[in-house]
Structure 1
């Protein structure tokens, strides 16, 4: 049982502020009158009703009451709240009741979490138009960046608003414009250089032809040294003629709209057999039944195969060269392997660049560095690819991969 609550001083005053009664009482003792508040023994004086003008001072304030001193919930004689019995100066005892404010019976109609959810939905509906506008602008910016990254340098982002997204769109448009201008200037310069090179090569054909014809009209010299010099001049003229032919072909391949010939179904088995016989290379056909054909320009594919075989013969040091035909799914693979020194891994991509030669290769093996560049251009023009690798036992392998047409199988 909890200890009795401490006594509190209680003062009753009338409307004029005059003290009309004073006493002490404990909170929570309302229903039962304290000993000092009961009438004297032998007196049967009925307890008068509390005066209508009585009030209480702040000595009975409720915030200072500890949990053990707080009256228990329930209704006293006059309702909920603490009650006091106070002995008046005239001998009467009055009962003071401090009513509690009524508890609110309101609660969320569907519970707290339902109400919280409804508030969240309302906030989401209110902010959706703003968020959607921002996300739509970000989506447009993302799509424009993707198109620009895919090579469409003319794409621009519409600028709407003066916020951070609008500022980002403005900066992107400015950067894209600068890059597009630089790329166009570079392309124009390269096109001008290629055109100049092609025109110069074309103009060289006429004097070269005249030199060749004049050399043929010269009678064979009786002197061995003079005869050797004439043969050397003829070989140099042939190399120069081949160089001019390769430069002109490279220029036409770079011009995407140039007419390079009729696209037809090319039989790779027959084409490679002819070129292998021309260069004394070994042909290994690993195709099961039917023919292996690809759509393309026959003379270009023949040039690509010939360049690979001649390149392998120059570097094979007299050893055998093998051309292998393989069908890999929907691709035809032309693989030319030699037994030469191979290609260092650091140069396996650069050797396909125009006029690039391995260190020392120009002096040792001749050539100008256009053969493999033409192979790559021809493969790309036919929707294929070319790559270089080294064999485990030594030597280099060049592989052209071209999309095939439907072929019959056994």
Structure 2
């Protein structure tokens, strides 16, 4: 199958070349065949007419000089002798003389001793020869010379006949046209060879033309492929002033503009990413202090002494919740920055999936709201921390936006793992499905704020991608949303291809993103 694909690939790559060769060949073949056919027809007519005129002229002369000298009723010996004399002319044809003797009997004289008889003369020709033609006023009726070409046993012949006026003998001649036929066959072979050579020359010319035209196109295709692979410094060497040269110049201008555009965009993106990373790091120090203060305030709120003034208690609780939300947002932004910078790495471990999912649910006190359908002893070589982030976001998102109970099912599909998280809520609107994994996406403009950062599902997808997997979102026919996580059972090849193993969190630093941070439904 691979060999077949490569053959078809070559045919597709050279299809334009083949079309050029075929078109050139057809044009050359049509022109050569037409010219050869016309040349053959003209030469054939010229050769046959020249030979025919010479034979008929000689035969007519012999009829006038010898046959007309015979008596009105000659004997067979006289006819035989005259026929032999007539056959010795320069054209060397066979002669048959027919007449009536004095007794009214039909006698014949044959120059070839009986090999040329009246049976060899077509009846239509005999009728035409014996037909008397009316003469002009005051003149006697005359007879004309007639001829016809025939083929016997595959050999061409010329048959002619004439009659002497005033009751003389009737003469017929038979001349073989085989020498002329051989000459015409040689001419046909020569024209055929010339046609074949013209066809070969046209094919070579088409090949040369195709090479001249397609080589720049081929170079342009290679350059476009390199450009598509991200090698934006690709340029074409330009020579000449034709259309292909202008196309190469246009390609170079386009590549140059694209390189500049991409460089500007990369610069802005790098600056934006650096700003987010710097901002996140800068915010961590004051957030740490604020978090410590809010923890103290929260303890005072929960204390039985009631040391917090009831009038400011709602404000204190708002500050505590918003501080936690801001802290989660900063951690998520740092996580996203690591993914964008390509510094996130896997820290693999052999884990039991059922135990891992149970630990994720138990750590967040979701045991009463989640049903687990997972076989014990199903091992996988994954990053347990990143898997916990994925599961926490999917299950937390289902609990927040869907409806209980949330069901988590684990299945295997060949070398892959399928973890399905399904809720019993209203489902996800169809127009929202393509965007649920987008960063900061809000399904409803009327709800621009939520308890989450809007980055959870995006971070979950990035963690799935770094494992070589992915996540899909859909609606169940029975109701509710279904998120399906697909991961390889062994991600060790990704660690070997991606670099050294990290020793800490994502990229070796930072903490896990919290649960339930997906976009709004």
Q: Answer yes or no: same fold by TM over 0.5.
A: yes
In the TM superposition, 1:277-356 aligns within 5 A as: 277=362, 278=364, 279-280=366-367, 281-285=369-373, 290-295=377-382, 297-317=383-403, 319-356=404-441
Query: Is structure 2 residue 227 aligned with structure 1 residue 141?
Result: no
* Contact 1:324 1:334 survives alignment (8 Å): yes
Which residue does 1:165 correspond to in 2?
244
Which residue does 2:286 correspond to in 1?
207
Q: Match for 1:71 among 147, 160, 167?
A: 147
Counterpart Cα distance in 1 of 2:161 and 2:322 = 129
Per the normalisation by structure 2, the TM-score is: 0.55
Which residue does 1:12 correspond to in 2?
none
Structure with greater proportional helix content: 2
Q: Match for 1:180 among 243, 259, 262?
A: 259
Q: Match for 1:190 among 261, 269, 280?
A: 269
Q: Secondary structure at the match of 1:349?
A: helix
User: Comparing both chains, which one has the higher relative contact order based on Cα–Cα distances under 8 Å and sequence gaps of 6 or more?
Assistant: 2
Change in Cα spacing, 1:81 to 1:263, as seen in structure 2 (3 Å) is same
What per-residue deviation string (whole Å, max 9, x for no partner) do you get for residues 288-316 of structure 1?
A: x7424144x33222212211111111112
In the TM superposition, 1:388-399 aligns within 5 A as: 388-399=473-484
Per the normalisation by structure 1, the TM-score is: 0.69
For the aligned residue pairs, the C-alpha RMSD in angstroms reads: 4.5
Which residue does 1:368 correspond to in 2?
453
Which residue does 1:238 correspond to in 2?
324
Q: Secondary structure at the match of 2:436?
A: helix
Q: Secondary structure at the match of 2:441?
A: coil
Q: Match for 1:33 among 64, 85, 88?
A: 64
Shift of 1:180: 2.6
151-160 or 265-274: which moved more? 151-160
Shift of 1:248: 0.6
Q: Match for 1:386 among 467, 471, 479?
A: 471
* Contact 1:337 1:398 survives alignment (8 Å): yes
Give the count of matched residue pairs: 348
* Contact 2:433 2:473 survives alignment (8 Å): yes
5+ residue gaps, structure 2, are 1-55, 73-124, 129-144, 151-157, 164-176, 302-306, 493-521
* Contact 1:27 1:70 survives alignment (8 Å): no
Counterpart Cα distance in 1 of 2:187 and 2:62 = 38
Shift of 1:252: 0.6
Counterpart Cα distance in 2 of 1:30 and 1:170 = 82
What per-residue deviation string (whole Å, max 9, x for no partner) do you get for residues 260-294 of structure 1?
A: 4534445433322212233335354455x742414
Which residue does 1:248 correspond to in 2?
334
Shift of 1:205: 1.6
5+ residue gaps, structure 1, are 1-24, 42-66, 75-79, 86-100
Shift of 1:83: 11
Shift of 1:234: 1.4
* Contact 1:282 1:323 survives alignment (8 Å): yes
Counterpart Cα distance in 2 of 1:177 and 1:283 = 57
Query: Is structure 2 residue 341 aligned with structure 1 residue 262?
Result: no
Counterpart Cα distance in 2 of 1:155 and 1:401 = 38
